[in-house]
Amino acid sequence: METLLYDQNVELTTTQTMKALVYHGPGKKAWEDKPVPTIKAPTDAIVKIVKTTICGTDLHIMKGDVPTVTDGRIIGHEGVGIIEEVGKGVTNFKKGDHVIISCITSCGKCEYCKKGMYSHCEDGGWILGNLIDGTQAEFVRIPHADNSLYPIPAGADEEALVMLSDILPTGFECGVLNGQVKPGDTVAIVGAGPIGLAALLTAQFYSPAEIILIDMDENRLVVAKTFGATRTINSGAENTIDKIKSLTKGKGVDVAIEAVGVPATFELCQEIIAPGGHIANIGVHGKSVMLHLEKLWSQNVTITTRLVDTVTTPLLLKTVQSKKLQPNQLITHHFKLSDIVNAYETFGNAAREKALKVILTNE
C-alpha cells in the first residue's frame, strides 16, 4: 500500500530520468535512459553515484551466465556516492553524506545478519545489480541503507574506496580470514587477477613469511611482485607442484587461496597444501571438482567457501586510513561513466589491456 502510494507520486510528478547501463539479455547492453530511483521503504536511501567500477561477475552477467539477472536490469554492485535522499527510518546517514556502497545488502535484523553472515541476509545479500537495479547508473536505490552503506571519512581518497565495495572484502574475508593466515606462514594464491591480488594485499596484514602468486599471465605476476608477492610461479611455464614442494622442503603451503574458480586450480590447491593447512576458496565455480579424500582424509586440512559478507568493511576502512592498505594499486584505467561501454571493452580484454580495475566517474 505504501509502495503503491509512492508509485502514484512518481506518476503524478514529472518522472526524472537518468542514464544507466542496462542488461538486455546475453550479449546485449545499452547506456540508456531510466527513471531516477525513488524511496520505496523507510530504510532506503537514494545515492548519486560518484564513481563505480566493473566486476568480473558483470562480465558473466553480460554473457547470460547469471540467470537471476533479467532483461532491463541496471548492472553494477560497487561504487561510492553522495546521499541524495533517505527514508524516514534511516538514521546513520543524511543528504550530502559521502558513502561507500557495499555489494552486499544487509537488513541487520535477520538471523544471518545477527551472526555477521550478511551474504545470506534474508532480505538482502547480493541483490544490487542482480535482483534490483545497481550502481552503473547516475543514481541507485540502496535498501537497508543504515547497514549497507559506510560513511567516507573527510579527506579520504574516494576513488580508492570503490575497491572496498566488493573486491577487497572478498579477497580478505573469503581468502585471508578464512585461510587463517598467520605471521610466518607460507601462503600460495592461485590466480593473480584482481581478486587474487586483493587477497595478496590483505594477506600482508598478518605478516606471512612467503606469499607465492601462481598464474599463467606473466604480466600479472610482474604486478604481483610489486604488490608484495615474495615469489611468483608461471604455471604455464613451470611445474608448480614441484616448485612449491621444493620451496617448502616437501611439506606444502600453510594456506592455499583459490582465486580462479575452475577445477584445475582447486585441484592444484589440494596438491600443494601441507598437513594441517587451509584451502580457502574464493573462486565462483561453475562445475563440481574432485576432492581427493582418499589422500586428504588424514591430512587435517580445512576447506572453506564463502560469499563475501562485507562484515570487515569498517576494519578495511581503518587500514586504508592508516595507509596499511592502498587500494588504488588495483586501479589501472579511468573512464567517464558515460563511456562505460568502452570501459567494458577494456575490462573484458583484461590480459591484453593489462587491466585490473577500471574506475568510472560520473562527471
- Position 105 contacts its own copies (CB under 8 A): no
The residues in 331-350 that bind its own copies, with binding defined as CB under 8 A, are: none
- Position 64 contacts its own copies (CB under 8 A): no
**Nearer Cβ to its own copies, position 230 or 338?**
230
- Position 15 contacts its own copies (CB under 8 A): no
According to CB under 8 A, which one of 5, 12, 237, 290 is a site residue for its own copies? 290
**DSSP state string for 315-337:** HHHHHHHTTS--GGGGEEEEEEG
From 20-28, 60-68, 110-118, 340-348, span contacting its own copies (CB under 8 A): 110-118
CA distances from 176 to 187, 199, 255 (A): 9, 6, 9
As given in the structure block, the three cell numbers for residue 24 are 538486455
- Position 42 contacts its own copies (CB under 8 A): yes
The residues in 198-257 that bind its own copies, with binding defined as CB under 8 A, are: 204-210, 230
- Position 58 contacts its own copies (CB under 8 A): no
The residues in 17-36 that bind its own copies, with binding defined as CB under 8 A, are: none
Pairing of strands 273-281, 253-258: parallel
Residue of 238, 241, 239, 259 whose CA lies nearest to 250: 241
**Nearer Cβ to its own copies, position 64 or 89?**
89
According to CB under 8 A, which one of 25, 64, 236, 286 is a site residue for its own copies? 286
From 71-79, 159-167, 315-323, 340-348, span contacting its own copies (CB under 8 A): 315-323
* 145 within 8 A of 45, measured Cβ to Cβ: yes
- Position 299 contacts its own copies (CB under 8 A): yes
CB of 14 to its own copies, least distance (A): 27
CB of 111 to its own copies, least distance (A): 7
How many CB atoms neighbour CB 55 within 10 A? 23
- Position 300 contacts its own copies (CB under 8 A): yes
- Position 6 contacts its own copies (CB under 8 A): no
**Nearer Cβ to its own copies, position 139 or 266?**
266
The number of angstroms, rounded, from the C-alpha of 220 to the middle of its chain's C-alpha atoms is: 18
- Position 298 contacts its own copies (CB under 8 A): yes
* 76 within 8 A of 358, measured Cβ to Cβ: no
What's the number of CA atoms in the CB half-sphere (13 Å) around residue 296? 18
The number of angstroms, rounded, from the C-alpha of 39 to the middle of its chain's C-alpha atoms is: 26
The full 3-state SS of 158-220, as one line of letters, equals HHHHHHHCCHHHHHHHHHHHCCCCCCCCEEEEECCCHHHHHHHHHHHHHCCCEEEEEECCHHH
- Position 102 contacts its own copies (CB under 8 A): no
Rounded CA-CA distance 209/248 in Å is 12
Residue of 289, 266, 292, 290 whose CA lies nearest to 279: 266
DSSP 8-state assignment for residue 96: T
- Position 284 contacts its own copies (CB under 8 A): yes
The residues in 157-196 that bind its own copies, with binding defined as CB under 8 A, are: 182-185
CB of 304 to its own copies, least distance (A): 5
CB of 354 to its own copies, least distance (A): 28
- Residue 355 dihedral angles phi and psi, to the nearest 5°: -95, 135
CB of 12 to its own copies, least distance (A): 21
Rounded CA-CA distance 59/134 in Å is 14
Rounded CA-CA distance 256/238 in Å is 18
From 11-19, 187-195, 217-225, 308-316, span contacting its own copies (CB under 8 A): 308-316
According to CB under 8 A, which one of 94, 95, 109, 336 is a site residue for its own copies? 109
- How many residues touch its own copies under the rule CB under 8 A: the total is 75
The residues in 119-138 that bind its own copies, with binding defined as CB under 8 A, are: 119-120, 123
- Position 259 contacts its own copies (CB under 8 A): no
